[in-house]
A and B are shown apart, each in its own frame.
Chain A
Amino acid sequence: DIVLIQSPATLSVTPGDSVSLSCRASQSINNNLHWYQQKSHESPRLLIKYSSQSISGIPSRFSGSGSGTDFTLSINSVETEDFGMYFCQQSNRWPLTFGAGTKLELK
C-alpha cells in the first residue's frame, strides 16, 4: 500500500498567518493527491483534488501544489473557521489510502 506521511502532526497558528501543510508519498503518485478538511464533530470535506484543482464552494485561500511524492496544501491568511484536521488521500493505486492528518490549532 502507498503510505502518506503528513507533517507536521500539529500546527499552532494565529489567525492571519499563512501556513503550509506537507504530504509525502512512499512512491510516486503523479498528481493523484487530494486534500480534505475535517472540523470537530463534522464529516471530512473535499478541499483540493488532483494536487491543485480547486473545488466549488471552497474559499480561494486554500491552494495545493506538488507532484510525484511531495505535495503541499497552503492556506493564505488562516481564519478561525479553518481550525481542525487536514488529511491527504491518494488515488494512484488501490487501495486508496489516507495520511494520518495534520491538526491546525489556535496558538
Chain B
Amino acid sequence: EVQLQESGPSLVKPSQTLSLTCSVTGDSITSGYWNWIRKFPGNKLEYMGYISYSGSTYYNPSLKSRISITRDTSKNQFYLQLNSVTTEDTATYYCTRYRGNYDYTMDYWGQGTSVTVSS
C-alpha cells in the first residue's frame, strides 16, 4: 500500500519560506510523478507542481517564481519550498502521486498538513 505523509511547520510568518516534506512508503519516488496540491479555506483546490521519476519538475505558472520542488531518493522523500509567503498561502497542503503513462489522476494522497501564514 502506497502511503504519503506530509510534515513541516504549521505556522509561517509573512515573507518567509514555507518548507514541507512528503515521506513516501510502499513505492519509490524514482517511478511516477509526485505532486503538491493545496486546498484553501473555502475549499478551492490548486495544483502546485510535480517532481517526476527522473527528477524533472513542473510548476504551476501562477507560482513559478516562488516554488521549488526537490527530492532525496535515498530517503524516498520529496519537498516543497514556497518563498515570500503571504496570508494568501494559508491552506492545507497535500502531497500526491500520479502514475504517469498518460494517467494523470491522483491515486494516492497524504493526509494533508495545515499551514497558516501569520505574524
Contacts and interface: CB of A to CB of B under 8 A. Distances in A.
Contacts, number: 43
B47 A43 contact: no
B109 A43 contact: yes
Given A43-B94, A49-B103, A95-B61, A100 B109 contact: no
Contacts of B44: 98, 100
Given A43-B94, A101-B43, A95 B106 contact: no
Contacts of B112: 43
Nearest to B49: A95
Interface in B91-107: 94, 103-107
A85 B43 contact: yes
A91 B105 contact: yes
Nearest to B45: A98
Contacts of A100: 43-44
Interface of A: 32, 34, 36, 43-46, 49-50, 85, 87, 89, 91, 94-98, 100-101
29 contacts: A32-B104, A36-B106, A43-B110, A43-B112, A44-B94, A44-B106, A44-B109, A45-B109, A46-B106, A46-B107, A49-B103, A49-B105, A50-B105, A85-B43, A87-B45, A89-B45, A89-B106, A91-B105, A94-B58, A95-B60, A95-B61, A96-B47, A96-B104, A97-B47, A98-B44, A98-B45, A98-B46, A100-B43, A101-B45
